[in-house]
Amino acid sequence: MAVVKELLRSEADGSISFGNHRLEKKEKVEDYEHAGDLLKVKTCREITKLEKNGLFLYESVPGTSVTGFSESENGVEFTVEGDDDVQITIGLEEDTEYEVFVDGQSTGTMKTGLGGKLSLSVELEAGGEIPVKIRQADRR
């Protein structure tokens, strides 16, 4: 998988791809329209952050490249790439329990608090890509 050279793009299947974990300096794209929403991405080697309609949606430290990011009423799924292990925070529904799958394996369930944020770690080998799926625990 290659980095997202456009920084943010819509895919034919309705998902989005964003981020470039190889950039030395922070770059951003604002007011990107996708499926009736306005998206904003900031990305570089240190951090990748995505907002939707001004609200937090995704953040990784260090930065990542993300492909196939899609949301549904049950959660989110995407493929993440980076050069180092990464801490990812996702904006989801408040006070809801989710099951997290990393590379096809369940890592257990986690509950979001009042802010609706869920944090997870993903071990990435240099240049590796890992699929992540986060689903409401009672809706697989």
What pLDDT, in 10s, does the model give residues 27-54? 999 999 999 999 999 999 999 999 999 9
Residue 95 falls inside a structural domain: yes
Between CA 48 and CA 64 the distance in angstroms is 6
Closest CA to 3 of 103, 129, 122, 92: 129
Pairing, β 16-18 against β 65-72: antiparallel
Closest CA to 91 of 34, 140, 39: 39
CATH of the domain at 19: 2.60.40
Looking at the structure of the chain, the number of domains it has is 1
| Average pLDDT over every residue of 115-127 | 88
Between CA 98 and CA 110 the distance in angstroms is 5
**Domain enclosing residue 70, as ranges:** 8-136
How does pLDDT run across 59-107, given as a tens digit for each residue?
A: 999 999 999 999 999 999 999 999 889 999 999 999 999 999 999 999 9
Residue 1 falls inside a structural domain: no
Residue 3 falls inside a structural domain: no
User: Does residue 135 contact residue 90 with C-beta atoms inside 8 Å?
Assistant: no
Residue 104 falls inside a structural domain: yes
Radius of gyration of the chain (CA): 14
